Structure 1
């Protein structure tokens, strides 16, 4: 095998290795982006659920206080 053809094979192998590394890097980045997006959606949903719970509890506490005030004659 001549030195020239060996050099050509070496360059092809290096190019293929670089392409594979780039493909792997892009696939890894895509997977990370998907995990981040999914995590953000889960966090957003948890926050909304917590906020809804706080609003419901606040409404119930307000109603309870209003009822208590009526029982003691503070409100009509």
Structure 2
């Protein structure tokens, strides 16, 4: 095998290795982005659930206090 052919093969192998590394890096970044997006959606959903629960509990507490005030004669 001539040195020129060997150099050509070496260049092709290096190019293929760089392409593979770039593809792997992009696939890794895509996976990280998907995980980040899914995590953010889960956090948003959990936050919404907690917020809804707090609002419901606050409403129920206000009703209870109002009912207690009526029973004690503070409100009509």
The reply to whether TM is greater than 0.5 is yes
**Residues 7-26 of structure 1, C-alpha deviations (whole Å, 9 max, x = no match):** 00000000000000000000
Could you tell me which runs of 5 or more consecutive residues in structure 1 were left unpaired when the two chains were aligned: none
| Structure-2 residue corresponding to 1:73 | 73
Cα offset for 1:49? 0.1
Scaled by the length of structure 1, the TM-score of the pair is: 0.99
C-alpha RMSD over aligned residues? 0.2
Aligned structure 1 segments of 4 or more residues deviating by more than 6 angstroms: none
Could you tell me which runs of 5 or more consecutive residues in structure 2 were left unpaired when the two chains were aligned: none
Distance in 2 between residues matched to 1:19 and 1:55, nearest whole Å: 53
